[in-house]
Amino acid sequence: MTPTDELRTAAATLRSNAEAAHRASPGPWTITEERVIRCADGMIVADRSSTEHPAEHADLPFIAAMDPTVGLALADWLEEAARQEAYTRAEFGHRGGAGVHALAIARAINGSQP
């Protein structure tokens, strides 16, 4: 699989997941004082209200920050990187731009290695 293929695969996966999440829990997501993340329509996305352990609250800001609008924007960025960085493996990311970083994100989404 070429780097461009990896980017496009990751973008498609992320877009599909973000669209499904948006249908279930539209953004933006916010954290309440009770340590509950709610989506735009009020549904609960994550609930840490029943625990006092700080480690179980640590991920709430990250979860809230990564609502479906962020996933869709990231999918757009990966698709643009695929268009701009459609080079061979030897050239990929050596012409400036975000190619190397986009590929690292794509590989994390795809669960693949270089």
Record the tokens describing residue 54, joined without a space: 């700080």
Query: 93: closest CA among 3, 2, 6?
Result: 3
Structure confidence at residue 83 (pLDDT): 84
Question: For 12-29, what is each residue's pLDDT tens digit?
Answer: 999 999 999 999 999 999
| Dist CA 53 CA 42 (whole Å) | 25
Name the β-bridge partners of 96.
Answer: 94
Whether residue 26 is preceded by a cis peptide bond, meaning omega within 30 degrees of 0, is no
Question: For 29-53, what is each residue's pLDDT tens digit?
Answer: 999 999 999 999 999 999 999 988 8
Whether the full predicted model's pTM is greater than 0.75, yes or no, is yes
Q: Average pLDDT, whole number, for the chain?
A: 88
55 band by pLDDT with thresholds 50, 70 and 90: confident
Structure confidence at residue 91 (pLDDT): 57
Average pLDDT over residues 68-86: 90
Interior/surface letters 31-60, b for 16+ CB within 10 angstroms, e for the rest: beeebebbbeeeeebbebeeeeeeeeeeeb
- Side chain identity at 56, as an amino acid letter? E
